[in-house]
Structure formats: C-alpha cells, structure tokens
Amino acid sequence: MTGIIRLPARDIPLPASMSPEAQALFAAIADSPARGGMPEGNDPVAWKRAIAEAEESVLPMLRPLDALPGFARETISAGGVTTFVATPEGAPGDRVYLDIHGGGLVMLAGEATRLMGLMMASRVGVDTYSPDYRMPPDHPYPAALDDCLTVYRHLLDRYPPERIVVGGASAGGNLAAALALRARDEGLPLPAGLVLLTPELDLTESGDSFITLRGIDVMLRSPLMPANRLYAAGEDLAQPYLSPLFGDFAKGFPPTLLQAGTRDLFLSNVVRMHRALLKAGVPVEMHIFEGMPHGGFGGAPEDRDLAETVGRFVAECFRREA
C-alpha cells in the first residue's frame, strides 16, 4: 500500500470560472515575485527584521482603509491590552464584534490591526474591537491568546454574551476558535457566534490541502511551520489551544461560520472543522469559494458575496440569541 500519486510537471491556468475582477487580482498575485519568507530558526533579530519587512510591504495596501467614512475611532486599554475600537455611525451600540487580526501569529500588529479592524467594522456594522495582542518573537504562546481572552472578559463586563460575536481570518481564526475553547474551559459564557475565515486551525498542518494545494495557493507561498514553532515555543502544536481543530466541541462551542477557497491551503482545515462541528451538534455553515486562495479576492464580486454572507450570519447570531 502506497497510494502515492506521481504528478508530472504542469501549468495551471487562471480559473475562467471566477469573476473577471477576481481573475485580474489573482493574476497580479500569481505573477508577482515571491516575497522573502520567514527565518527558519528562532533568532529574534532575524524574525523582527523579516516581520518589519513583511509589514512594510502590506501596509501600503491597507492604508486606503483609513479613508473609510462613517466611523468613530478610538484606541483604548481593555484590561491592559491596547485595543482599537471602531464605532460605525448609527450602530445600535448594544452589540459588539471582537475582531482578531491575522498575520501568521507573528505579524500585522499595530497600524495594520487598526486598519483591518475598520474594514471588519464596515462589514458587520456594529462596534468592533480589534486587540493589538502580543506576539513572538518577544511574546510566544500563550501571550496572544491571553490578550484576546482579556479583551473578551472586558467585553463580557459591558455586553451580554448573546450580544458578542468573535471572529478572525487566518491566524485570527486560530485565536478566535482557541478563545472559544478556553472561555468554555474557564467557565466563561460563550459568544453568540464565531466567524472563522480561511482559518489556521491546525498548526501541525496535517490536512491534505497543505500538500495538494502547495504551489497552487498563490497567497501562502512560504512555509508557515517556522512561525508556528516560534509561536508555540515548545508547546505541543496539536493541543487544542494551539490547533483548535483538535478540540472537543461536544462540550460546547458557539454557532460558527467557516470559509475557505478551492485554492486555499487551509481548505482541509475548514472541511475537517465543519465535519467535527456537525458531529458535535454545533450549528455551523461552510462557504467555499471557487478558485479562491487564502485571503480572498479583495474587492471582487466574490469578496462582496463573502462580506454579505458574514454580515448576514453576524446579524442572525444577534437575532437568534436576543
């Protein structure tokens, strides 16, 4: 028994089944040179340099979000954790979205966190809290999760749990799901819903799509394992606070929205999480987008479809529990 499939070299063309806008975005990403990856070891100086370079290349793309109209913006300390708060004009004020940023568990802090929080607030239309959680190399696990929990407790002091939805994309999906598991284990009330967008639910990378879509996902081109190891700092990557996919959901978990794309390295994370939640009887919906890599097609019709889907789900979570 081998089951090994030997594939010849081949060219994969642009999917004609996506919108023209998504095709143009996809081609721009696919045709751009690969950026420098992350360091292999644990040298903090090398990591800080690589993180700073990566953030410098991402920030210009996020800057336009600062022009989004219709928000009050504030930076607060939520139990000691710097947190960006975006309050849409006319938002009901009695409900809140806890938005946990992505960035491979090592980057996109500060200004990037603030700008991505504005986008999320525009999508969900309610007060949005974006914690600037601590990260490696200076602060490995469990610092980031601790900080997210601190902000969640801060919100629990101010809103009923049925008025709180927690979400995140990529590494933010990891932390959002881990937050739900840890909140439950610590006896805290669960939020009304969880939004996990192309989530990094498995730091062991045991899913099939990590292999089948390697090279096909044009967004995630460098190995993530060095960042996973740096984050875990010796902790078992398979334990559920690091890889929420392996949690026991029958003990309680919030209604969840899962999203991935057919060219998304995290596709297996999502389909496996979907089955695990169904098995545990957790209300869950899964949305898979044609041809979409990790991180989506910003601004394309597929992206608007996803934004509307998330907005509808969040509104339903608040309605369900009200």
Residues contributing to the site for a copy of itself (CB under 8 A): 1-18, 23-24, 26-28, 30-31, 206-209, 211-213, 215-216, 218, 262-263, 267-268, 271-272, 274-275, 278-279, 286-291, 305, 309
- 251 to each of 190, 245, 247, how far by Cα in Å? 12, 14, 9
Output the smallest distance, CB 215 to a copy of itself, in A. Answer: 5
Please check whether residue 163 is in contact with residue 193, taking contact to mean a CB–CB distance below 8 angstroms: no
Residue 257's Cα: distance from chain center in Å? 12
Please check whether residue 164 is in contact with residue 153, taking contact to mean a CB–CB distance below 8 angstroms: no
Output the smallest distance, CB 29 to a copy of itself, in A. Answer: 8
Sign of dihedral through CA atoms 214, 256, 304, 74?
A: negative
Q: For residue 290, what are the contacts with CB-CB under 8 A and spacing of at least 6?
A: 15, 17, 18, 261, 262, 302
Alpha carbon distance 306, 93 (integer Å): 24
Which residues on adjacent β-strands are paired with residue 111? none
Q: Are strands 193-197 and 164-169 parallel, antiparallel or unpaired?
A: parallel
Output the smallest distance, CB 40 to a copy of itself, in A. Answer: 21
Alpha carbon distance 227, 204 (integer Å): 11
Alpha carbon distance 124, 127 (integer Å): 9
Judged by CB, which is closer to a copy of itself: 20, or 93? 20
Judged by CB, which is closer to a copy of itself: 15, or 223? 15
Judged by CB, which is closer to a copy of itself: 96, or 218? 218
Output the smallest distance, CB 309 to a copy of itself, in A. Answer: 8
Please check whether residue 97 is in contact with residue 165, taking contact to mean a CB–CB distance below 8 angstroms: yes
Judged by CB, which is closer to a copy of itself: 58, or 271? 271
Judged by CB, which is closer to a copy of itself: 13, or 69? 13
Output the smallest distance, CB 280 to a copy of itself, in A. Answer: 13
Output the smallest distance, CB 96 to a copy of itself, in A. Answer: 27
Judged by CB, which is closer to a copy of itself: 98, or 306? 306
